[in-house]
Amino acid sequence: MLEISLRHRFPGFALDAAFTAPTPGVTVIFGPSGCGKSTVLAAVAGLLRPAEGRISVGGVTLFDGGAKKFVAPEKRRCGVVFQDSRLFPHLSVESNLRYGLKRAPKDAEGPGFDEVVSLLGIEALLGRRPAALSGGEKQRVALGRALLSRPALLLMDEPLAALDAARKAEVLPYLARLRHRLRIPLLYVTHALDEVDRLADTLVLMQAGRVLAAGPLEALAARTDLPMLAGRQDAGVVLSCRVAAQDEARGLTRLDFPGGSLVVPQAALALGHAVRLRIQARDVAIATSRPEGLSVQNLLPATLAAIEPGGAHDVLLRLAVGDSILLSRVTKDAVGRLGLTPGLPVWALIKAVAFFAEGRDGAG
């Protein structure tokens, strides 16, 4: 368990944040610029001594303001990866990685050099100096160096923020893969929702120095009372699925989630493989009777659970599909026209889904 409660002041900024998250697992702190995400991370790393509060990881107390306990940063066994890779420029990639290994406590268990190199796909880079690496490659090496120091907790502060979209798309699958393979707890700071969707097990939403909500990603993404998520044009739910069937003839893969199933273009995945699906509210339309002759492949029977405020001209519908929730963004006009009221049985038409295979190479 990660247990964090912090109070600290900077001129013009007050941090008063508390959350808990299960470990191992990926906890993502998400929020707008200046909300205090990096300050929380710095306090966990021991780079900032908070005025008050308590930090414990897996039952080990790193900071306790009341008991005047403050474990020095170098004793915390936190591996830190920043936005800029901070590699040693005069050392080869291999020497940078071995530096991490040298810092590992003698008795600490963790992945070996070869395993980390292969996990991050950096075999071909070992002889190069950091100046000869792309931004994405540098971040993979920085991550490798942090992993090889055998941390009890991995801290990442916007590790992809300095990368362009193509480089980011190159590194994200490695992070997703890591999340699946290694059992090191990860605390990850970002203001990019795609990273949240891909990586988070637990989501911590921060605003103006406070935690607005914290909990499992799937539960938070389905909430309509959190404007930071529901107010976005790309608001939507995340569902954990399993590969249930492969239809070679039609070129489709069937994914089951609690309460229903969806088909996606065929993915080369074994039956039972875990897949994370994201369905945006704007990609879900509804009908009050079963539509015929549709090109849309995913049509699910649902119950309209609630109608929540959306934008100026639209609303968010909460749709119960078995044990799962979908969100649908429709116009206020549609609510009146279709006579939508909570409890009504409806059909959800899902026009698009994004999906990512858990583990493997990460990408779906």
> For binding to ligand ATP (CB under 6 A), which residues are involved?
10, 13, 31, 33-39, 191
DSSP 8-class letter at 112? -
Q: Taking the mean position of all CA atoms in its chain, how far away is CA 142?
A: 20
Residue closer to ligand ATP (CB basis): 191 or 210: 191
Residue 278 CB, shortest distance to ligand ATP, in Å, is: 23
| Angle between helix 135-148 and helix 93-103 axes, rounded to 10 deg | 30
How many angstroms separate the CA atoms of 63 and 57, rounded? 10
Asked whether the CA dihedral 9, 13, 14, 18 is positive or negative, the reply is: negative
Smallest separation (angstroms) from ligand ATP to the CB of 45: 12
Shortest Cβ 145–ligand ATP spacing (Å): 22
Q: How far is the CB of 15 from ligand ATP (least distance, A)?
A: 7
How many Å apart are CA 81 and CA 92, to the nearest integer? 18
Q: Enter the tokens of residue 317.
A: 């519908």
Which CB atom, from 47 or from 244, has the smaller least distance to ligand ATP? 47
Helix (H, G, I), strand (E, B) or coil at 234: coil
Name which of 157 and 197 has its Cβ closer to ligand ATP.
157
**Minimum CB separation from ligand ATP for residue 171, in Å?**
18
CB of 37 to ligand ATP, least distance (A): 4
Q: Which is nearer to ligand ATP, 37 or 179 (CB)?
A: 37
60 within 8 A of 9, measured Cβ to Cβ: no
CB of 177 to ligand ATP, least distance (A): 25
CA distance 16 to 91: 41
Cα–Cα distance for residue pair 187/178, rounded to 1 Å: 13
Query: Closest CB to ligand ATP among 39 and 139?
Result: 39
CA 85 distance to own-chain centroid: 20
Based on CB atoms, which residue is closest to ligand ATP, 162 or 340?
162
Q: Give the number of C-alpha atoms closer than 13 A to the C-alpha of residue 38, restricted to the C-beta side.
A: 10
Neighbour order of strands in the sheet with 260-265: 260-265, 252-257, 236-247, 274-280, 354-357
Q: How many CB atoms lie within 10 A of CB 76?
A: 22
Min separation Cβ 203 and ligand ATP, Å: 15
Q: Please, which residue, 70 or 347, has the CB nearer to ligand ATP?
A: 70
CA neighbours closer than 13 Å in the CB half-sphere of residue 310: 23
Which one, 162 or 338, has the nearer CB to ligand ATP?
162
314-321/260-265 β-pairing: unpaired
CA 202 to mean position of chain CA atoms? 8
